[in-house]
Amino acid sequence: MFEQLGLIGCGLMGGSFALALKNAGLVKRVVGYSKSPSTTERARKMGIIDIEAPSALLAVSGADIVLIAVPVAATEASFKAIKHLVTPDMLIMDVGSTKRDVVDAARRALREHVDLFVPAHPIAGKEVSGVEHSDPDLYVGKQVILTPTERTAAPQLQKAIEVWSRLGCNVQTMSPEQHDAAFASVSHLPHLIAFALMNAISGQPQGKEYLSLAGPGFRDFTRIAASEPKVWRDILLSNREELLAQSQLFQRSLQALEAMISSSDAQGLESLIEQASLTRAQWSMNSRNKS
Amino acid sequence: MFEQLGLIGCGLMGGSFALALKNAGLVKRVVGYSKSPSTTERARKMGIIDIEAPSALLAVSGADIVLIAVPVAATEASFKAIKHLVTPDMLIMDVGSTKRDVVDAARRALREHVDLFVPAHPIAGKEVSGVEHSDPDLYVGKQVILTPTERTAAPQLQKAIEVWSRLGCNVQTMSPEQHDAAFASVSHLPHLIAFALMNAISGQPQGKEYLSLAGPGFRDFTRIAASEPKVWRDILLSNREELLAQSQLFQRSLQALEAMISSSDAQGLESLIEQASLTRAQWSMNSRNKS
């Protein structure tokens, strides 16, 4: 399907993509670049990439598919680094968990070549990171959200759908705005709330004592509060508009419950709780997201 | 230790207490009363109680220990029902998960006999309810919070500590206010938030689509949103003052994070997330609460 993958960022996500592409026989060569030369070297020694590139620019030279798998905040710099060797039939993708910011960065940095870029968010990951945890099966059975814009070229979008499908993914397309609103609501906001709750408790004089009384419900509710601070700082900042909008909706919903409690409206309170309880009981995670 | 237990409410909590007391050889007879005569009959047939009482009043006649194990909202009516047969060396306890409201109800209904009442909250339960699930080991290894007031008689408090300890519980005492603040913060507020989040998402036109994209983090975070509406309606209403106070602290903490996000204060945001992440990583559930 492809001659050469140019891989910018040889971490868990990028390394796993290269291995998966190779295993599926979808690419002949992988040229890789990482900010840290030792990572690039390790990726070559592990057979994840075939050739070490000394720069992002040289990694895309001659490539017909390019994957940018760097932290969201470094995406724009990667676009800028490669733009002089972008060719018209190249497919360029990323793997970031926010999409509007990446689309904006692509517009600014790639300019007339922005049509070659298909923003992608594979819903996959591991507790651990780094090239050494690369896994050719990381994406198998997972959802991949593609967020094309009105500028995205149709052949590129077709190729993107095909490559992720052939890796065993369930591919969905939506607008970058829809994507960011959805993940603001079901992922970014829950993280924000969990951080806020932990800080609200620990900020009280008796916070330690309160925490010592917490049980299994609290354990599950706050699990995501232990997430990596730098990663979540970037995600929350990247998706700030949608996140703040979702947070407003949440606070209105919380205040509606508070009003029922304040006014001792038992029936109204019960019906709001019933609605929440029913929605949660009827929800079941898309099986493709389970691992 | 005791001659006769008067049990008001032969459900899971009450039935398990009676069985535990019998198994430990701490009581000779159990006289039980439930609102539903068929429940009382079943409790007798199962050997949980020895004698069926036709009323709450008659259940306490001749008892030296009384356990009120009814829904929190029915506690005051139980106090009123028994007050004419309360004797000065009786130990009276409850098992409710909120305490200020129960203490107030005891003051109003028991009047000069309020000194005999030791408010208790055993942190134990099961997914299922009903006398048929009574379990003599329900309380073994669990925490029991006693919330005596300045009116509570010292001998009664001593006896209460001793009986729960002999059932294998870890007994802690604190004021009703401390108890309600602690559980507002680590249990009632997380439930309120989870209900609010589910309603905020499902209230949006694209809520269903958003929910279909949610993953394991969301699953754990919202698990408590599926809790029983009537039970949680009563808990949230019973503990309204502390709950609303904790909810204010939480909203301030959330707004502090939002302010960092709005102003793109990456360093400030990271340090708030770090604080939350560290608190959660260092927290570990009291092993006695684990099951």
Q: Round the average pLDDT of chain B to a whole number and report it.
A: 94
Same domain, A119 and A254: no
Q: What pLDDT does A291 receive?
A: 39
Same domain, A167 and A213: no
Same domain, A159 and A130: yes
Question: CATH number for the domain including B117?
Answer: 3.40.50.720
Could you give the CA distance from residue B250 to residue B267 in angstroms, rounded to a whole number? 21
Window from A118-122, A235-239, A287-291, B110-114 with minimum mean pLDDT: A287-291
Cβ distance B12 to B125 under 8 Å? yes
Same domain, B132 and B34: yes
Q: How many domains does chain A have?
A: 2
Residue % of chain B over a pLDDT of 90: 90
Nearest to B280 among A185, A226, A251 (CB): A226
Could you give the CA distance from residue A29 to residue B48 in angstroms, rounded to a whole number? 74
Question: CATH number for the domain including B209?
Answer: 1.10.3660.10
Could you give the CA distance from residue B199 to residue A249 in angstroms, rounded to a whole number? 9
Q: Report the residue of A254, A270, A285 to disrupt the B interface, i.e. the one with the largest count of B CBs within 10 Å.
A: A254
Among B152, B174, B196, the domain boundary falls at B174
Same domain, B205 and B239: yes
Same domain, A105 and A191: no
**Closest chain B residue to A211 measured between Cα atoms?**
B186
Closest alpha carbon to A67 in A31, A114, A25, A28: A31
- Interface touch A226/B281, C-beta < 8 Å: yes
Cβ distance A259 to B238 under 8 Å? no
Return all residues near B47 (Cβ < 8 A) that are at least 6 apart. none
Nearest to A273 among B221, B233, B277 (CB): B233
Q: What pLDDT does B229 receive?
A: 92
Beta strand pairing call for A27-33 and A51-52: parallel
Cα of B190 to nearest chain A Cα, Å? 7
Same domain, B204 and B258: yes
Same domain, A133 and A45: yes
Would you put residue B210 in left (φ > 0), alpha (ψ -120 to 50) or beta? Answer: alpha
Same domain, B163 and B195: no
- Interface touch B269/A226, C-beta < 8 Å: no
Same domain, A62 and A74: yes
Same domain, A154 and A205: no
- Interface touch B183/A213, C-beta < 8 Å: yes
Give burial (CB, 10 Å; 0-12/13-18/19+) of A19. Answer: buried
Q: What is the pLDDT of residues B138-183, one digit of tens each?
A: 999 999 999 999 999 999 999 999 999 999 999 999 999 999 999 9
Strands (E) across A148-241 are located at: 170-173
Same domain, B201 and B127: no
- Interface touch A215/B145, C-beta < 8 Å: no
The terminus-to-terminus CA distance of chain A in angstroms comes to 28
Could you give the CA distance from residue B230 to residue A267 in angstroms, rounded to a whole number? 10
Q: Report the residue of A127, A201, A239, A282 to disrupt the B interface, i.e. the one with the largest count of B CBs within 10 Å.
A: A201
Q: What pLDDT does A221 receive?
A: 95
Domain containing residue B116: 2-174
Among A157, A174, A191, the domain boundary falls at A174
* Coil/strand/helix, residue A8: strand
Strands (E) across chain B are located at: 2-8, 27-33, 51-52, 65-68, 91-94, 117-118, 120-122, 143-146, 170-173
- Interface touch A279/B223, C-beta < 8 Å: no
> Is residue A290 pLDDT above 70, yes or no?
no
Q: What pLDDT does B124 receive?
A: 85
Beta strand pairing call for A2-8 and A65-68: parallel
Q: What pLDDT does B130 receive?
A: 86
Among A174, A203, A226, the domain boundary falls at A174
Region B235-261: what's the mean pLDDT?
A: 97
Question: Is the interface score ipTM higher than 0.90?
Answer: no
> Is residue B128 pLDDT above 90, yes or no?
no
Q: Which residues of chain B have a CB within 8 Å of the CB of A280?
A: 194, 198, 222-223, 225-226
